[in-house]
């Protein structure tokens, strides 16, 4: 039984910390705290710096621009990035979702073409799965790609795509065989965002972030735009989603910081002369917040340890972790707001009256999107019930 990081990873942690201290300038921090378009900060220059160090692709094989390191290095990196509120949106999807997927099922040419720029932090990707009529039920996508000579012609729509306005490439799920059983006629394609016929309209989330509604009108892509096997896209997707869900394993550190600040707030804030933290319900809620955060941490470590032992993201652990984060995240945001009371409604444009810099006002609005992004809480519960417990459909 062992719960310690390998020494090399701990040494690496200090290096990352040192780097972030130096490179995360007040401007970047400020941008992160108040940025409009992104919940997780978007900064291409900063992403490129990480790319130069090889830190975006710590665990990739060396031949594709990776560092060939163990998963603990990546975990340490994730933890330090999240704890420091460092911007990740410019590389997150490319490095943690598209890259590993390509390594798994891309052709050699595709790997050579797309992976090194991702590793250098130079290309930004978005993912287009969700459509107006296909959310949780992804097998019902309607966007079609029809073969025309050496090309595919794409028509249809995508919904809620993040940071597409700044992306170089678009990884999309399209229907390539409408006559096949619905899971079997789906493929994955890559679109260069310079291709004519892609139109996007911004949608704004309640907390002010941009996602996009996308329309394809006779978008022509070359035959080799297909990633992986034709018509096997849905099966590739399952594995890729697991990989995506095993990204952000360091995210618990950001929540731990939130919790520590909340504890401090409850210690220092007096109600009629008595510190808030002396209230029983506050004590109990803080403890449960801490327990759940501890479990988030351990589940992340568990997923990491499985990755380390080879192979793709583990079904059981990944699924259980999804339920955990999606079910309990919401609870504690609500609790934190309860602790703050009247002030929990105040936004950062009224800084004088916004407790904890209005963080929980933002978190409260973000908690809904946070639970649904990448799959809903109910979907996570279904996955555990059907795939982990083997319950009947």
Partner 1 sequence: MDLGPSETQQVLKRTAREFLQTVVNPAIVRQMEEDRIGFDPAVWKQVCELGWTGLMIPEEYGGQGGDVSDMAILFEEVGRSLLPSPLFASGVEAALTILALGSEEQKRDLLPKLASGEKIFVVALTEPTGTYDAWGVETRAERSGNGWKLTGTKLYISYAHVADLLIVAARSGEGDDAIAFFLVDPKVNGVKLTILDTIGKDHQYIVELDGAEAEAVLGPERGGWSAFQDVLAKAAVVHSAASIGAAERCLELAVDYSKQRVQFGRPIGSFQALQHKMARVVTEITGAQLCVYEAAYRLAVGQDARLEVAIAKAAASDAYTNASIEGCHIHGGAGFIRGSEMELYFRKAKGAEVILGHPRWHKKRVTALLAEMAQPAEHH
Ligand X SMILES: Cc1cc2nc3c(=O)[nH]c(=O)nc-3n(C[C@H](O)[C@H](O)[C@H](O)COP(=O)(O)OP(=O)(O)OC[C@H]3O[C@@H](n4cnc5c(N)ncnc54)[C@H](O)[C@@H]3O)c2cc1C
Q: Does 298 bind partner 1 (CB under 8 A)?
A: yes
Q: Does 307 bind partner 1 (CB under 8 A)?
A: no
Q: Are 313 and 246 in contact (CB under 8 A)?
A: yes
Residue 390 interacting entry, from partner 1, ligand X, none, C-beta within 5 to 8 Å by type:
partner 1
Q: Does 374 bind ligand X (CB under 6 A)?
A: yes
Q: Does 308 bind ligand X (CB under 6 A)?
A: no
Under DSSP, the state recorded for 384 is I
CB atoms within 10 A of CB 354: 20
Q: Does 295 bind partner 1 (CB under 8 A)?
A: yes
Alpha carbon 80 to chain centroid distance?
16
Q: Which is nearer to ligand X, 239 or 277 (CB)?
A: 239
Q: Are 20 and 49 in contact (CB under 8 A)?
A: no
Q: Which is nearer to ligand X, 96 or 130 (CB)?
A: 130
Cα angle at 150 between 148 and 154, to 5 degrees? 50
Q: Does 388 bind partner 1 (CB under 8 A)?
A: yes
Q: Does 372 bind ligand X (CB under 6 A)?
A: yes
Handedness of CA 58, 70, 169, 380 (dihedral sign): negative
Q: Which is nearer to partner 1, 70 or 177 (CB)?
A: 70
Bridging pattern class, strands 144-148 and 151-162: antiparallel
Q: Does 327 bind ligand X (CB under 6 A)?
A: no
Q: Does 162 bind ligand X (CB under 6 A)?
A: yes
Q: In a 10 Å sphere around its CB, with 0-12 CB exposed, 13-18 middle and 19+ buried, how is residue 149 labelled?
A: exposed
Distances (CA, A) of 57 to 70, 97, 104, 340, 374: 11, 11, 15, 40, 21
Q: Does 247 bind ligand X (CB under 6 A)?
A: no
* Binding characters for ligand X, 189-218, by CB under 6 A (x = yes): ----------------x-----x-------
What is the C-alpha separation between 174 and 188, in angstroms, rounded?
A: 6
Residue 129 interacting entry, from ligand X, partner 1, none, C-beta within 5 to 8 Å by type:
ligand X
Q: Does 31 bind ligand X (CB under 6 A)?
A: no
- The SS3 call for residue 48 is helix
Residue 331 interacting entry, from partner 1, ligand X, none, C-beta within 5 to 8 Å by type:
none
CB atoms within 10 A of CB 18: 11
Under DSSP, the state recorded for 220 is E
CB atoms within 10 A of CB 13: 18
Where do contacts with ligand X occur on this chain (CB under 6 A)? 126-130, 135-136, 160-162, 205, 211, 369, 372-376, 378-379, 382
Where do contacts with partner 1 occur on this chain (CB under 8 A)? 1-6, 72, 83-84, 257, 259-261, 263-264, 267, 277, 282-284, 286-288, 290-291, 294-295, 298-299, 301-302, 304-305, 317, 320, 323-324, 327, 378, 380-382, 384-386, 388-393
């Amino acid at each position: 039984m062992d719960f310690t990081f390998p020494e090399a990873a701990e040494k690496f942690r200090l290096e990352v910390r040192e780097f972030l201290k130096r490179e995360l300038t007040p401007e970047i921090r400020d941008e992160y705290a108040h940025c409009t378009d992104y919940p997780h900060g978007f900064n291409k220059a900063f992403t490129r710096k990480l790319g130069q160090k090889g830190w975006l692709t710590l665990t990739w094989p060396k031949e594709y621009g990776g560092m060939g390191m163990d998963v603990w290095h990546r975990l340490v990196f994730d933890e330090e990035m999240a704890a420091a509120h460092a911007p990740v949106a410019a590389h997150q999807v490319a490095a943690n979702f598209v890259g590993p997927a390509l390594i798994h099922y891309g052709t050699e040419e595709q790997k050579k073409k797309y992976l090194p720029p991702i590793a250098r932090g130079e290309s930004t990707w978005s993912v287009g799965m969700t459509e107006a009529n296909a959310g949780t039920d992804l097998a019902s996508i309607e966007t079609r790609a029809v073969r025309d000579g050496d090309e595919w012609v794409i028509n249809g729509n995508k919904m809620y795509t993040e940071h597409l306005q700044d992306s170089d490439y678009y990884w999309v799920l399209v229907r390539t065989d409408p006559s096949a059983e619905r899971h079997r006629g789906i493929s994955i394609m890559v679109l260069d965002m310079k291709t004519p016929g892609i139109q996007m309209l911004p949608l704004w989330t309640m907390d002010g972030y941009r996602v996009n509604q996308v329309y394809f009108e006779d978008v022509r892509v070359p035959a080799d735009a297909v990633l992986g096997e034709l018509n096997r896209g849905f099966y590739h997707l399952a594995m890729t989603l697991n990989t995506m869900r095993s990204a952000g394993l360091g995210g618990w550190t950001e929540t731990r910081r939130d919790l520590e600040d909340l504890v401090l707030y409850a210690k220092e804030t007096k109600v009629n002369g008595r510190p808030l933290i002396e209230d029983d319900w506050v004590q109990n809620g803080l403890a449960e917040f801490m327990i759940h955060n501890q479990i988030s941490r351990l589940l992340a470590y568990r997923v990491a340890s499985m990755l380390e032992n080879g192979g793709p993201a583990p079904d059981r652990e990944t699924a259980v972790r999804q339920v955990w984060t999606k079910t309990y995240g919401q609870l504690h945001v609500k609790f934190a707001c309860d602790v703050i009371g009247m002030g929990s409604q105040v936004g950062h444009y009224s800084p004088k009256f916004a407790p904890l810099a209005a963080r929980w006002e933002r978190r409260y609005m973000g908690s809904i999107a946070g639970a649904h992004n990448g799959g809903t809480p109910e979907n996570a519960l279904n996955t555990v019930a059907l795939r982990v417990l083997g319950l009947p459909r």
